Amino acid sequence: MGTDTSRAAAVTPPPAPSGPLSSTAQRNTSINVDPAIMVTIRPGEAGEAPLPTIASGYVAAEEIGRGGMAEINAAVQLAFGRTVAVKRLLHEITDPHAIRWFQAEAVATALLQHPNIVPVHDLTVLPDGRLQLVMKKVEGLTWRQLLHPDAASAEQARALGLDGHLEILLKVCDAVAFAHARGILHRDLKPENVMIGAFGEVLVMDWGLAVAYGDHHPHPAIPHARTATVIAGTPAYMAPEMANCACDHIGPRSDVYLLGAILYEVLTGSAPHRAASVKGSIALAKRGKVEQPRERAPE
């Protein structure tokens, strides 16, 4: 049995979206940019020393997530005394491509005001010139944590049951349909990118690979699917046209495939293109070859 590669990130950075860059952002670097890491945040630990003020009007609290390109901190918004989540690129990420993708994520998420999409509050510039995306801080668990629970989440997962998971999927579908109606694709839908809040709210997160499609041009900062000439996304869920970089065929059906891949995981316990390596998952995704659910999970 192979290892589940559902958490694998993109293997090659996509080209940068077009649009203006600040002079601070136009520094070059030799870092190999991997934008999907930016949308696959791992849990982090807060440092012992007090964190600095991260921008005028916000004071940092603990770190709540960190990936290969970005970090997420809880922060207090001084004007209201409320806690928010702030996402910013790491200090060493100065590549203009990464900065443009960060801008695109911020704009795409802000344009999609929907009950099942994480709300964006602000986009600010830090004193060191880095961009900072201010969002709602969601208290809860990822859908992945409920599909594959540990001891802490086992009771909540049992209470959810199959019907509960299908209700979550319907709400994710509502959010995706809303985005498609506005010309935006997500391209990295997976249980890890869906949060279930403390009140049962379902929020689609991490729009860092979002692109426009067809004749839609929702904002100059958002790149178009026709520029998707490299593999980006999560191979274990990926649609064949995404794995094959068939940019002329990437559209709403690509996200629908990802939704189907999530349903497959709900029913079988694992993502469809499961393999022992990222390369193996990509090969399966390219062929669109999926083991029958009854074969994967006979019970």
Which two tokens mark 90? Answer: 């790491």
pLDDT tens for residues 11-43? 433 444 544 333 333 333 332 333 332 333 233
Residues designated as active site: 188
Name the percent of the chain lying above pLDDT 70.
81
Print burial letters for 192-211: b (CB count within 10 Å at least 16), e (below 16). bbbbbeeeebbbbbbbbbbb
Distance of CA 163 to the CA centre of its chain: 25
> How does residue 298 score in pLDDT terms, banded at 50, 70 and 90?
confident
pLDDT for 54 equals 60
* Run of H or E including 108: helix 96-111
Q: Does the domain at residues 23-136 carry the CATH identifier 3.40.50.150?
A: no
- Kindly list the strands in the beta sheet with 70-77, ordered across the sheet, starting from the edge strand earlier in the chain: 53-55, 58-66, 70-77, 82-89, 131-136, 120-125
How far is residue 175 from each of residues 72, 135, 143, 265, 271, measured CA to CA in Å? 23, 17, 15, 19, 21
What mean pLDDT value characterizes the chain?
A: 84
Edge-to-edge strand order for the sheet containing 202-204? 140-142, 194-197, 202-204
Q: pTM for the full model?
A: 0.81
Residue with tokens 């099942």: 116
Average pLDDT over residues 278-298: 90
- Does position 270 have pLDDT exceeding 90, yes or no? yes
What CATH class does 140-294 carry?
A: mainly alpha
Instruction: Write down the domain spans for the chain.
Output: 23-136, 140-294
d(CA 103, CA 107): 6
